Structure 1
Amino acid sequence: MTAMNRQARRRAWATASFHAGAGALSLLWLVPIALVLVTSVRSFDDIAANGLGSLPHSFTLGGFSQAWVDGGQGRALLNSLLVSVPTVLLSLALASMAAFGLARYDLPFRRTLLLLMLGGNLLPPQILLIPVSKISEALGLYDSLYALIGVQVGFGVGFYVFVLHGFMRSIPPEIQQAAVIDGAGPWQIYRRIIMPLTTPALAALGALSFTWIFNDLLWAITVLRTDTKMPITASLIGLQGQFVSMWNVIAAGSVIAAAPTVVVFLRFQRHFVAGLNLGAVK
């Protein structure tokens, strides 16, 4: 009986320690976010008089107005959406068609193609900055949103194909065989059978890819030059230079930049969790 009590006591301590550690880590992660949110609704005079880390003495949305209008966050947010949404749609369309062919048909060198697509994503993007910039200039696309969309599609579609390939291979082949017996061609099988069954994977991958593309900074400052064409991540750098000591405006700009990805996460939260296991089923 004593041994059982000791074991129960150890389990209780282990559980309490785990929750205490998890709570401390959560608090450590939430404090900066809370500080940004509170700072974004404080006035500049309040921060200047009482300090950035003090309790707020006033609340205002003036920082959001300055960041949106004077800081160009509204235009930058539109640029980010004009890049992110078409890139996600085009990437998933191309990746789903390629994954369908590689997963459902016995194509020659399909394993080699998959490895090449995956290997391309393992290259450090820093070594490709100059080549990508030169190629976009040679094609006449430099300093345009089309260049940024092309870069994002080109560097993302290989990974999407690899992930969707693993998901599509898990679909029972009897479904496709039955469709072939009924006279369905490859396009009909892809559009009417495989795509509806792949919708959960596409939703998860779409939510994840939107977050990655929307938050990207490296490729934006590589292929874009004009300030009015910059996405919101690059616009935040200009906002810090324009409002050097106005922390309320900078914090408000950060909240505006984070809002779309937070909305997407909350809307597709269960797909985010499912996306962690995408392609794991063989």
Structure 2
Amino acid sequence: MTKGMTASARTAPARTPAPATPARGGRRRTRPGRLGLHAFLMTVSLAFLAPLLLAVYASLRPYEETAEHGYFSLPRHLSFDYYKQAFSDSGMSKYFVNSLIIAVPGVLLTLFFASFVAFAVSRLKMRGGLILLMVFTAGNLLPQQVIVTPLYVIFTKIDLPYWMSDSMTLYDSYWAVIAVQVAFQVGFCVFVLANFMRTLPLEILEAAVVDGAGVWTQYWRITLPLCRPALAALGTLQFTWMYNDFLWALVFVSDGDKLPITSALNNLRGQFFTDYNLLAAGSVIVALPTVLVFLILQRHFIAGLTLGASKG
């Protein structure tokens, strides 16, 4: 009996000791490098948020208080009176509509044209596709201010029907601002979408071709749904840029009733005195739609930014 036990004990595999479990309540040691990285990221984030936070803080305080004690002093009185005054005195409701009339069609047209060109360049076997992509990318290097005067002269000579423009020309119409925004933003979107479409499996389109899908079906029903994160990220950026733009509307629109929301802030500036706390409240109101768009598309926007960060 003893010999049998000793023999089985010899042949039994040795058991490895179980790893020691940390005591309850114990914490993992944080590396100094990670602490330094977090501290750096927090510092950079606060540096970017500092102007916005200061504007929000100033918009809640009376101008007399900040003039006497300074903008970095403790508040004595906080209220939303400046927001009500800024919205009513500047007529923002009308300018909000003008900005949406420019930004929404501009974003949709930009994404449609850019996705169509990117699909042709990256997925179809066409000659000169790389050269075409380089041309679209090089268009982003052209300073926009250089062609302000030529565009102004051209737009004043392009006739439009009355139902499209009160001035009967492309100048002093929403179409002029939309056309310029689309023309300058398509190149960047083509570059991003073409690089993303190249990462899509080519076997998907080959299977669609075998099933009899045409070019439009391959583009509209197969490729575009796969590009939803990239389109959401680009749509967020494009809406922000077009919504906040002031140069093109100032150049190509002479009617004050057609100006975008960014021009409404000028109505809050007095001839001899400017209440900067009131101006800060107006700036916060103007920025709210872009923040709302980002919150709605936040998940897709972050997914679009991380595209291509890892493979496999």
Which interval holds the TM-score relative to the shorter structure? 0.7 to 0.9
Distance 2:271 2:239 in 1: 28
| Residue of structure 2 aligned with 1:105, choices 91, 99, 124 | 124
| Residue of structure 2 aligned with 1:33, choices 30, 46, 52 | 52
CA contact (8 A) 1:71 1:242 kept: no
| Residue of structure 2 aligned with 1:192, choices 210, 215, 221 | 221
Unaligned stretches of 5+ residues in structure 1? 1-10
CA contact (8 A) 1:239 1:250 kept: yes
Distance 1:201 1:44 in 2: 44
Amino acid at match of 1:221: L
- Aligned CA distance change for structure 1 residues 17 and 176 (closer, same or farther; 3 Å): closer
Amino acid at match of 2:230: A
- Aligned CA distance change for structure 1 residues 242 and 261 (closer, same or farther; 3 Å): farther
| Residue of structure 1 aligned with 2:100, choices 73, 78, 81 | 81
Aligned counterparts, 1:1-282, within 5 A = 12-139=31-158, 140-241=169-270, 244-276=273-305
Q: Deviations over 1:179-229 (max 9, x none)?
A: 111111111121211111111111111111111111222222221222222
More helix as a share of residues: 1
- Aligned CA distance change for structure 1 residues 159 and 24 (closer, same or farther; 3 Å): closer
CA contact (8 A) 2:86 2:279 kept: yes
Across the two proteins, how many residue pairs are aligned to each other?
A: 272
Distance 1:12 1:189 in 2: 50
Q: Which has the larger radius of gyration?
A: 2
Q: Deviations over 1:72-109 (max 9, x none)?
A: 22222221122111111111111112211222211121
- Aligned CA distance change for structure 1 residues 178 and 242 (closer, same or farther; 3 Å): farther
RMSD (Å) for aligned C-alpha atoms: 2.5
Unaligned stretches of 5+ residues in structure 2? 1-29, 159-168
TM-score normalised over the length of structure 1: 0.86
Amino acid at match of 1:267: I
- Aligned CA distance change for structure 1 residues 93 and 20 (closer, same or farther; 3 Å): closer
Greater RCO, 1 or 2 (C-alpha within 8 Å, sep 6+):
1
CA contact (8 A) 2:230 2:301 kept: no
- Structure 1 stretches of 4+ moved >6 Å: 279-282
Distance 1:18 1:196 in 2: 37
- Aligned CA distance change for structure 1 residues 28 and 118 (closer, same or farther; 3 Å): closer
Distance 2:255 2:65 in 1: 35
Distance 1:269 1:168 in 2: 21
Amino acid at match of 2:248: W
Distance 1:131 1:113 in 2: 24
State, as a whole percentage, how many aligned pairs show the same letter. 47
